[in-house]
């Protein structure tokens, strides 16, 4: 683990906890692929929870922004709330549609963070971890979607 994060400006604990967050995605996604139908909604619920958490990251960044980051405040606050709203909508849709929506929203959020990173608005080292986690989550949610539709 230490060799993997060496040189990263993020704490090793951020990597450890972030990667451990993929465990439920992997188990639930694999379970749906193996035909355990009862795991489809828990996969959606976990994905929606994580999507809402991603918004909270931006709310926190907006509230702790340096004065020179003031122009990004509105976008950060919007990105802080929209993922939670999308997550809620996903939970009331049919499960396969909700899974697709959450997978897409997680990837779209990462893409928006990439743009923010290019503007110097994201912590150094964050994007590597973020994309790794986003791709793992989206893959698991997509497995759930594919195997939810038969």
CA dihedral 11→12→13→18, nearest 10 degrees, is: 100
pLDDT band, very low/low/confident/very high, at 40 (cuts 50, 70, 90): very high
Q: At what angle do helices 73-92 and 95-118 cross, to 10 degrees?
A: 170
138 dihedral zone (left: phi>0; alpha: psi -120 to 50; beta): alpha
Residue-level pLDDT at 25: 98
Over 80: is that where the pLDDT of 150 sits? no
Total residues found in the chain within this entry: 150
Average confidence (pLDDT) over 25-30: 97
Lowest pLDDT segment from 13-22, 61-70, 105-114: 61-70
**Going by C-beta distance under 8 Å and a sequence separation of 6 or more, which residues neighbour residue 113?**
122, 126, 127, 130
pLDDT at 100: 97
Indicate whether this model's pTM tops 0.75: yes
Say whether pLDDT at 4 is over 50: no
Sequence spans of domains, the chain: 41-148
Tokens of 12: 């090793």
CA 127 from centroid of its chain's CA atoms: 12
Query: What are the pLDDT digits (tens) for 78-136?
Result: 999 999 999 999 999 999 999 999 999 999 999 999 998 888 888 878 889 999 999 99
At 104 the pLDDT is: 98
List CB contacts of 97: < 8 A, sequence separation 6 or more: 90
Give the pLDDT band of residue 7 (cuts 50, 70, 90).
low
Which pLDDT score is estimated for 149? Answer: 66
pLDDT at 33: 92
């Amino acid at each position: 683990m230490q060799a993997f994060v060496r040189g990263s400006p993020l704490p090793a604990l951020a990597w450890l906890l972030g990667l451990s967050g993929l465990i439920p995605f992997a188990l639930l996604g694999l379970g749906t692929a193996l035909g355990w139908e009862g795991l489809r909604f828990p996969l959606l619920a976990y994905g929606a929870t994580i999507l809402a958490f991603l918004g909270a990251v931006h709310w926190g960044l907006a509230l702790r922004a340096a004065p020179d980051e003031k122009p990004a405040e509105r976008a950060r606050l919007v990105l802080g709330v929209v993922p939670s709203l999308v997550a809620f909508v996903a939970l009331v849709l049919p499960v396969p549609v909700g899974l697709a929506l959450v997978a897409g929203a997680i990837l779209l959020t990462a893409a928006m963070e990439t743009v923010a990173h290019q503007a110097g608005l994201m912590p150094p080292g964050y994007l590597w971890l973020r994309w790794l986690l986003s791709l793992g989550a989206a893959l698991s949610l997509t497995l759930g979607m594919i195997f939810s539709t038969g």
